[in-house]
Amino acid sequence: MPQIIDGKKISQQIKDELKAEVTELAAKGRHACLAVIQVGNDPASSVYVNNKKKACAYIGIGSRSYELPEETTEEELVRLVEELNEDDSVNGILVQLPLPAQIDEDRIIRTISPDKDVDGFHPVSVGRLWIGEKGFLSCTPAGIIQLLKRSGISIEGKECVVIGRSNIVGKPMAALLLRENGTVTVAHSRTRDLKEVTRRADILIVAIGKERFITKDYVKEGAVVIDVGMHRDAQNHLCGDVDFADVESVTSAITPVPGGVGPMTIAMLMNNCVETIRTQEERP
């Protein structure tokens, strides 16, 4: 039987570690505060925002919530972000995506100060990641690295295939695997003979956005499979990009959906928030 990688358990371990660290830093006068901005009342976004608030409360990170109406203009949102950039009591800024159609998401991401970009989406954060400088890491890929490490799965020297080249998962995932000395291939919608590419993978990370797309004929015997997808099927059941029931038997380790990668994203967001006061602690 393969190892079922328990993202809920590992994310809780990380949050418990962060809670202890935040308590120690608070005793030294270091306090973290996350500002969360939501525009409109998209139900999925509201769930994510509430989960982030709960995680902040558990760990001991202060949080401010800005719930703006759907008709908020781009200029109004830019002004709010700029005010938070200048507010020394705020360590991290998170603008919940997606934004309404009248707002340019890229402009908003670029408006956030790189020193408060706890989502790791700003071009400066991305550049720091690729050249190996210290900075905020994109939360989902960083969470996947922790899933692998804390499950005893070595990345060094392994053939790693990432399916998907998004700025949020695929590209930063490739950079982080390279940091860990993996040999990395990024496959995508224009990749020829995808099965031939994925069957080389010792570690296969799937962020393709297609329900149960990956079946066992895409997977090498004994591979580790990480499923980043999240969908609801025709029976309203949560499922991923990987056909878990079909693939499980040929893997050495696999993440379930739900309960795999998902919980790690918020845990690593919290880690980025704590990183803002770790950095303070290192300053003379």
Of the candidates 52, 116, 158, 220, the residue annotated as catalytic is 52
Q: Is 146 a catalytic residue?
A: no
Counting residues of the chain whose pLDDT is more than 90, the rounded percentage is 94
Is the pLDDT at 274 greater than 60? The verdict is yes
In the DSSP assignment, the letter for residue 184 is E
Report phi then psi at 194, rounded to 5: -55, -40
Is 80 exceeded by the pLDDT of residue 180? yes
**pLDDT score of 43:** 86
Both tokens of 229, joined, read: 């997808």
Among 6, 117, 119, 241, which one carries the catalytic annotation?
119
Distance CA 228, CA 246 (A): 17
pLDDT at 44: 83
Looking at residue 244, what is its pLDDT?
Answer: 97
Q: For this structure, is 119 an active site residue?
A: yes
Collapsing DSSP to helix, strand or coil, 252 comes out as strand
Express each pLDDT in 71-120 by its tens digit. Answer: 999 999 999 999 999 999 999 999 999 999 999 999 999 999 999 999 99
The sign of the CA dihedral 274, 110, 130, 204 is positive
> CB of 222 within 8 A of CB of 252?
yes
Catalytic residue among 6, 38, 96, 171: 96
Which of 24-33, 37-46, 198-207 is the least confident region? 37-46
pLDDT at 284: 38
- Give residue 280's pLDDT: 65
Residue 282 has pLDDT above 60, yes or no: no
- Cα–Cα distance between 129 and 123 in angstroms, integer? 10
Banded model confidence at residue 45, pLDDT cuts 50, 70, 90: confident
With beta carbons less than 8 A apart as the criterion, state whether 270 and 142 touch. no
Q: What is the pLDDT of residue 100?
A: 95
- Residues making up the chain, counted from first to last: 284
**Alpha carbons 134 and 123: distance in angstroms, whole number:** 14
Mean pLDDT of the chain: 95
Report the half-sphere exposure of 197 (CA within 13 A, side-chain side). Answer: 20
- 6 is annotated as an active-site residue: no
- At 93 the pLDDT is 98
- Tally helices (H) and strands (E) across the chain: 10, 11
CB 66 within 8 A of CB 79: no
